[in-house]
Chains A and B, each alone.
Chain A
Amino acid sequence: MTAETGSIYDLGYRRYEGPRLGRAHAIRSLFWHSLRSTWGIGRGARAKIAPIALAFLAAFPAVAILAAQALLRQFPGGEGFQRELPVRYETYASTIGIFVILFCAAQAPDLFGRDQRHKLLALYFARALRRTDYTLARIAGFMVAIFILQLLPQVLLFLGQVLLSTDVGKGFLDEAPSLARAAVQAIFTAGLLGGLSMAVSAFTPRRAYAVAGIIALFVIPTIVTGIVVGFGSEDLGRWLILLSPTSVLAGTNALVFDTTITSDGGIVPFIPAWAYVTAALLGTAGSILVAIRRFRGLSV
């Protein structure tokens, strides 16, 4: 049946002649992909459980307080409750702090970890994407996800308060500044906690270590500095506070909402406000740089 000669048959293979979207598009796509997969969108049902559950827990105080307010208005003396709400914008960040930390520990390891575990980095870097682009796009996606986590409940709170007020326009104007401040605090949170989580995640493909590392990084310094500061307000002890991410964020929160830090847990309000902001910015920038260096030197 076969002759001694050979031939090549044209199966219709064509080169791709269409537009190539280039580096910017790749960065944008990776950013959106990171943001979506942090929230479990585009992944299986099991991947949605942790983020949705934690988002629900983060929003719960807001919903609960709105429900309580709506209810108690019916009764005389309700105004007293209105004035001293247990859940407010300025305390909301610390109320849900543990959930934000858990969210970071649950979702950050997968973003860098899965690519390393399944050896996908070579695929990413063989595209128009540079190594730095990859790192920044992923981190940015995660930070925006944290921003949403932190701010969304407070948006709910805002909407609820506006709708609860008798004069919607006035209510809007009253509440809007608080929401704006909450947004600024959310930016600090997203930057610092998001950046640090991703920096830890960049270094290991194994989830267990990344998770433990993130938890250790966020929870332990707070406890340690709390103990150390309890000795008295000597200089070293004071400045050690800046080594604890959660304390730094408490500081920026106080600055943003123009309150003084209450010294529960031994936090001492003698450090100038700009120190907190600087620490937050340094922490954010530092973690991003560490992650960039990590991926630049990684051989795939």
Chain B
Amino acid sequence: MTANPLAPTPTAPNAAAPGQPVPANAAIVLERVSRWYGNVVAINDVSFAVGPGVTGLLGPNGAGKSTLLHMLAGLLRPSAGRVLVGGQPVWRNPGIYRTLGLVPEREAVHDYLTGTAFVELAARLHRLADPRAAAARAIDTVDLAQAAGRPVGTYSKGMRQRVKIAAALVHDPSTLLLDEPFNGMDPRQRLHMMQLLRSMAAAGRTILFSSHILEEVERLADQVLVVHAGRLAAAGNYRQIRRLMTDRPHTFRVRSSDNRRLAAAFLGEPSVFGAELHDGQLMVRVAEYSGFTRIVAKVARASDVSLFEVAPTDDSLESVFAYLVSRR
């Protein structure tokens, strides 16, 4: 496979690429972690470091997201490499759970317990000083107070997710791992949960969640880790990643007073690959992002054309993701 396309990015302190010095505040560190089952390699030599803030683990189904999260949570042993949370190894280290919380993907929760009882049980198992108060707080945080007195067996899928999240936060962990947390939530619940996670991150916690839904990651995560077929395809802020995808031209949408003349003028520039005219819009494909931004005003003025709108069109996580995933 080609070398990792990321050069060191000083503007991305929280998700480091392999080969880069680990930031001092990294709560989660993976060093050359691999996991195989017999002949099948599920995770292939993945290294990254995650610090405070919200990081999204993105990948198609089967990419290894759950495997990675289970290894981070100490529930699966890496076949090679090390997994460290807060500087300590997670495998066979139950003490790590004092500062680590996991929201598993599987729905299984003790159906016969009420929501309150379930979260209180978690609080007691964490040896908290005041389990009842902590549980009540956690339940309030996930907005489940009304239904908390009912058995979990009567909950909807979204409510189950929320009660699992409450149980994972009850001991106020500094690192929180969530496996597909927004499964089954309606838009309002999802919004509420995203606000919650953002506020936790702002208070200095490290939040890592996995998803295969691009909009969720785009809205919530500061940093992304893209996994595909067991490998880490990219890490960092996705806009920065886009900028580094140099073997794919950027596309800009331009609206002006005279699109055709502007198109002809652009095609005279060496950095422009192509220009297309569509229903009153001009799409320009350029080799390099910042180069174009420098010349666009100059060219427009030289051609005596007024610019109404200039916007990059494929700077979305979706295009980044599609690119990374299709490169193989």
Contact = CB atoms under 8 A, between A and B. Distances in A.
Direct contact of A and B (CB under 8 A): yes
Interface string A223-259: 0000000000000000000000000000000000000
Interface size grouping (class) on chain B? under 10
A123 interface: no
A1 to B, nearest CB: 5
Contacts of B279: 1, 3
Interface string B301-326: 00000000000000000000000000
Contacts of B141: none
Interface size class of A (residues with CB under 8 A): under 10
A1 B251 CA distance: 12
A3 B281 CA distance: 11
Interface in B275-300: 278-279, 281, 283
B256 to A, nearest CB: 16
Contacts, number: 6
A3 B279 CA distance: 7
Contacts of A3: 279
Contacts of B283: 1
A1 B253 CA distance: 9
B124 to A, nearest CB: 28
Contacts of A1: 253, 278-279, 281, 283
Contacts of B278: 1
A3 B278 CA distance: 9
A110 B279 CA distance: 62
Interface in A1-29: 1, 3
Interface in B230-287: 253, 278-279, 281, 283
Nearest to B283: A1
Interface string A50-74: 0000000000000000000000000
B315 to A, nearest CB: 15
Nearest to B276: A1
Interface string B15-51: 0000000000000000000000000000000000000
A45 to B, nearest CB: 11
A81 to B, nearest CB: 49
Contacts of B253: 1
Nearest to B253: A1
B174 to A, nearest CB: 38
B284 to A, nearest CB: 13
Nearest to A2: B279
A3 B253 CA distance: 15
A197 B283 CA distance: 70
Nearest to B279: A3
Interface in B99-150: none
Nearest to B281: A1
A276 B283 CA distance: 88
A20 B152 CA distance: 44
A1 B279 CA distance: 7
A3 B280 CA distance: 10
Contacts of B281: 1
A1 B281 CA distance: 7
A92 B283 CA distance: 84
A169 B92 CA distance: 68
Nearest to B278: A1
A1 B280 CA distance: 9
Nearest to A1: B278
A1 B278 CA distance: 6
A101 B279 CA distance: 77
A143 to B, nearest CB: 35
Interface in A155-178: none
Nearest to A3: B279
A159 B245 CA distance: 72
B319 to A, nearest CB: 14
Nearest to B313: A1
B158 to A, nearest CB: 20
A22 B253 CA distance: 56
A208 to B, nearest CB: 16
B295 to A, nearest CB: 23
A119 to B, nearest CB: 13
A175 to B, nearest CB: 47
A46 to B, nearest CB: 13
A1 B283 CA distance: 9
A228 to B, nearest CB: 40
Interface of A: 1, 3
Interface of B: 253, 278-279, 281, 283
Q: Which 6 A-B pairs give the minimum distances between C-beta atoms?
A: A1-B278, A3-B279, A1-B281, A1-B283, A1-B279, A1-B253
6 contacts: A1-B253, A1-B278, A1-B279, A1-B281, A1-B283, A3-B279
